[in-house]
A and B are shown apart, each in its own frame.
Chain A
Amino acid sequence: MILSRLARSGRGGIVLLVLGLLAALVLPWLIYPPVALDIACWALFAAAVDLLLGFTGLLSFGHAAFWGGSAYCTGLIVLHGGMPFPVAIIGGALFAALLALPIGLLSVRLTGIYFAMVTLAFAQMIYFVANQWRDVTGGENGLQGIPREFLGLDLSDPFFFYYAGLPFVLAGLFAAWRIVRSPFGRVLVSIRDNPARARALGYPVERYRLLAFVLSAALAGTAGGVFAIGHGFAALDGLYWTTSGQVVMMVILGGIGTLWGGAIGAAIVVQLQDFLATAGFEGVGIVTGSIFIVIVLLFRRGIWGTARHLLISRRQADPPVSPAAGAAEEPVESPEPAPAPASPHPAGD
C-alpha cells in the first residue's frame, strides 16, 4: 500500500533511489562481505547488459568478453604497472570499450538472434585467446595475487574493500541511468521499437547501436575490474560463455528494460550460488536452468517489471489519481520488454 501511494505521489523514484542506496550501503552488514561485493559487481554488469537488451533491443550473449577482458587488464595494470587500483579499474573499462569496438562493428549490423549468436562466438574466441596466451594471462591458473592497497590504506579486509569498490559500481549505475534518460537513450529506444522508422527519420541506426554496445561494454568492464580487484585475481572462467549466460539470466530475472531489476536478479543468483555451494545439492544446472524456464514461460516481466506493472495497473485503476500520473511515467522505461509486435520476421528487428 505504501509503495503504491509512493508511486502515485511521483516521488516514488526518489524514495526508491534512497532505499536502493541504503541497501547498497548496509549490504555487507547483512551478508558476507565478499558475497556483497559480488552482488554489487554483478548488479552493474546486469545493468550494462540491460542497457543493450532492454533499451537497444540487442541481446548480447558475449558480454563475458568485456567483463573478463577488463578483469585481466585491470589485474595486469596493478601487477605490472604498479598503479593504484582505481586507475586500473578505469584502464580495464577503457580496454573493454576498445575491445567492443571491432566486435561491435562486425555485429551491430545484425540484430535479434543473429546478434546473440555472433557475440557469443566472438566472446568464445576471446576466451580461447586468453587461454592460450598464458605469458600474459597465466592460462588456466589465471592472474593471481592482485594486490589492493590504495594510498597506503590496507584494504585486504573484504568488508572495507566493499566500500572502496562501491563508488565505482554506483558511478557505473548512475552512468547507465543517465544514458537511458538522455536524448541518446531515447533514440536507442526508438530504434529498438522500430528501426525502419528511426532510419527513415535520418538516424544512423548502426552507429547508435555501436555506441550503445561500446558504452555497455565499458560498464561491464568497470564491473569486471572491481570484481577482479575484489577477489584478487582474474580467471578464465570470467570469459567463458556461461558467464554471459549468467548475467543474461540476472537481467531477465530482474526484468528486462528496468535497469535496476538486474540488481535484484544479481542478488538472487549470487546468493543462490553461495547457498548451493554448501547445500549439498549437486544440481546447480538444474536449479539455474529451471529459473530460466520458469521466468521465460511464466513471468517474462521479471521481478522488478512485475512489481512495477502491478503498481501501474493499480494506479490506473484508481480514479482519484489524475490521468497525468500515467503520463508522468518515464517514457524511456517502457514496461514491455523488447516488444514483439515490431518483429514480423524471425531475424529480430
Chain B
Amino acid sequence: MRITGWSGGLAAAGLLLAGCGGGPGGGGGAISDGGVTLAVLNDQSGIYADTSGRSSIEAVKMAVDDYKAKYGDKAVATKIEVTGADHQNKPEIANSKAQELYDRQHADVILDVPTSSAALAVATVAKNKKKVFIDVGAASTELEGKSCNKYTFHYGYNSYMLAHGTGTEVTKAGAKNWYIVYPDYAFGQDMTKTFSAAIKGAGGSVVGSDPTPFPNDNFSTFLLKAPGLDPKPQVLGTMHAGGDLVNLVKQYNEYKLRDKNVTLAIGLLLLSDIHSLGPDALAGTRYTTMWTWNFDEKTRAWADRFQAKLNKRPTANMAANYSAALQYLEAVQRAGTDNADKVVAQLEGQKVEDMFVRNGTIRAQDHLLLHDSYLAEVKGSADVKEPYDYEKVLNTIPAAEAFQPQPDPACKL
C-alpha cells in the first residue's frame, strides 16, 4: 500500500502549508515577515538540472554568506533564508509555485527560472503580487520586451547577447559568408534573426539559413549542403542547444567540414556541452558567453570556493544566480528594507560590479542588466591544463554593445 503512504505524507504537507497562512506583511517594519527569503525556482529534475538546478541554490547561499560577512552587525537583513523549488519544466507548476513562494513562504525575491514559458508566467505573478523576480535562466528577450514589468529583472544573458556577440565579432574577424542552421522554434528563430542582422551590420552576408526539425538527430542534409552553397560559406552558424547541438557537432566532424574550411560558430554553448563533446571536437569554435570561471583572479577565487563546496566547477548560470542574489541583498541594504517597491527603486539604474558582472548597469527603462560579455573559443585538448579548463576568451564585448542598445518600445514598466 504505497499509495496510502504517499497520500499520508501529502496530507501532512498540506496541513503544514495551511498552518502558515497569512498575507504579505505591510511596509511598517524595515524587514517584513521576520526575515528576507530568497527563493530559487528552477528545473531540478529535467534538461536544465545540470546547468543550474540545485547547485544554484548553493551559489545563492554563498551570496548570503558574503553579504553577512561584508556587513556584519550593520546588515539590514539579519535573518536570511534560501529556499528552492523544482518547477519540473512545467510552466503551470512554475506559476502555482511562484504564487505559493510569494504568499506562503514569504519569498521576497524569486531567482533563476529557466524555460521561457515558465519565466514569463512567473513574471506575470511577480507583477500581480508586486514582488521582485530576477530571471537568470531564460533567454527570451520578451522578458524585457512586451512582457516586461516593474518587478521583473533579466539578469545575465539573453538571445540578443548570444547572437549579436558572435555574429558581429566573427564577421569582423574576416568570416564574411555564413550559413545558418537553427532549430525550428522561437529561440532558434529569434537567434537567427539577430544573428543575420549582426552579420549584415558587420559587413558580412548570410548565404543561406535553414530550420531543422526539433529535436533532431540527423543533420547530414544540412551538413552536406553547406560546402556546396554559392558563395561558399566560411562559417556554419548553429543555434542549437543541448542534445541537438551535440548531434550536430558530432556530424560536423564526421563530414570533416573543418577540413573543407567551413568553421563552426555556436549561438549558445555551455561548459557542459564542451565537456560532453570533448574539447577536440569543438576546438576553435567561437561563441559568446556571459561568464567563464577561468577568466581572472576574481572568478577563479570564486570557482575555487564553489568547488570546495560542491566538488565541481560552476557554470555561468550558477555564477549569475550568485551575483543576482548578492545584488538583491545589496539593494535591500541600501533601501534599508525589503519592501519590493523600494528595492526595485534601488536596483533601477544601479551600477553593478562583482565577480560575475563587469561594467554592469541595470537599465531603468526595461530592467535588463547590461554588462560585458565575452567572445570565447574552445581550446584544443593540448591547451587544456585542468578539468573543465576548455574556454579561452578572445575579446571582451563592452556592455554597451553586448545587449540591445535601446530598450524595446513595447516595454512599458
Chain A residues at the B interface, C-beta cutoff of 8 Å: 30-32, 34-35, 38, 128, 131-132, 134, 138-142, 144-145, 156, 158, 227, 231-233, 235-238, 253, 268, 271-278, 280, 282-285, 290-291, 294, 303
Contact = CB atoms under 8 A, between A and B. Distances in A.
- List the 4 closest pairs (A to B, CB-CB), nearest first: A139-B186, A142-B117, A34-B96, A235-B117
Given A38-B96, A232-B95, A272-B6, A141 B88 contact: no
Nearest to A285: B45
B99 A34 contact: yes
A290 B164 CA distance: 46
Interface stretch (B13-21, B201-209, B275-283, B285-293): B13-21
A141 B142 contact: yes
A285 B85 CA distance: 16
A254 B187 CA distance: 39
Interface in B104-139: 104, 115-117, 120-121, 124, 128
A144 B186 CA distance: 14
Contacts of B14: 30-31, 271
A342 B140 CA distance: 53
A227 B96 CA distance: 12
A131 B184 contact: yes
Contacts of B120: 141-142, 144-145, 233
Contact of A282 (B9, B49, B93, B116): B49
A140 B116 contact: yes
Contacts of B189: 134, 139
B124 A233 contact: yes
Nearest to B100: A32
Main SS of the interface on chain B?
A: helix
A268 B86 CA distance: 18
Given A275-B13, A282-B44, A282-B49, A131 B93 contact: no
Interface of B: 2-3, 6-7, 9-10, 13-14, 17-18, 44-45, 49, 53-54, 83-93, 95-97, 99-100, 104, 115-117, 120-121, 124, 128, 140, 142, 147, 184-187, 189, 213-214
Contacts of B213: 128
B214 to A, nearest CB: 7
Contacts of A141: 116-117, 120, 140, 142, 186
A70 to B, nearest CB: 15
Among B9, B88, B213, the most chain A Cβ lie within 10 Å of the Cβ of B88
A192 B11 CA distance: 38
- Secondary structure class of chain A's binding surface, majority of residues: helix
A294 B44 contact: no
B187 A140 contact: yes
Contacts of B91: 142, 231, 233, 235, 237
Contacts of A271: 7, 10, 14
B346 to A, nearest CB: 27
A131 B54 contact: no
Given A140-B117, A144-B120, A280-B54, 13 more contacts: A30-B14, A31-B18, A38-B92, A131-B184, A142-B121, A144-B121, A144-B124, A235-B91, A237-B91, A237-B92, A273-B93, A275-B13, A277-B93
28 contacts: A31-B17, A35-B96, A132-B185, A134-B185, A140-B117, A141-B142, A142-B117, A144-B142, A144-B147, A145-B147, A231-B92, A231-B95, A231-B96, A232-B95, A233-B117, A235-B117, A268-B6, A271-B7, A276-B88, A277-B85, A277-B97, A278-B83, A278-B86, A282-B86, A285-B45, A290-B2, A294-B2, A294-B3
Contacts of A31: 14, 17-18
Nearest to B17: A32
Nearest to A141: B116
A238 B118 CA distance: 12
Given A131-B214, A156-B128, A278-B85, A303 B3 contact: yes
A140 B185 contact: yes
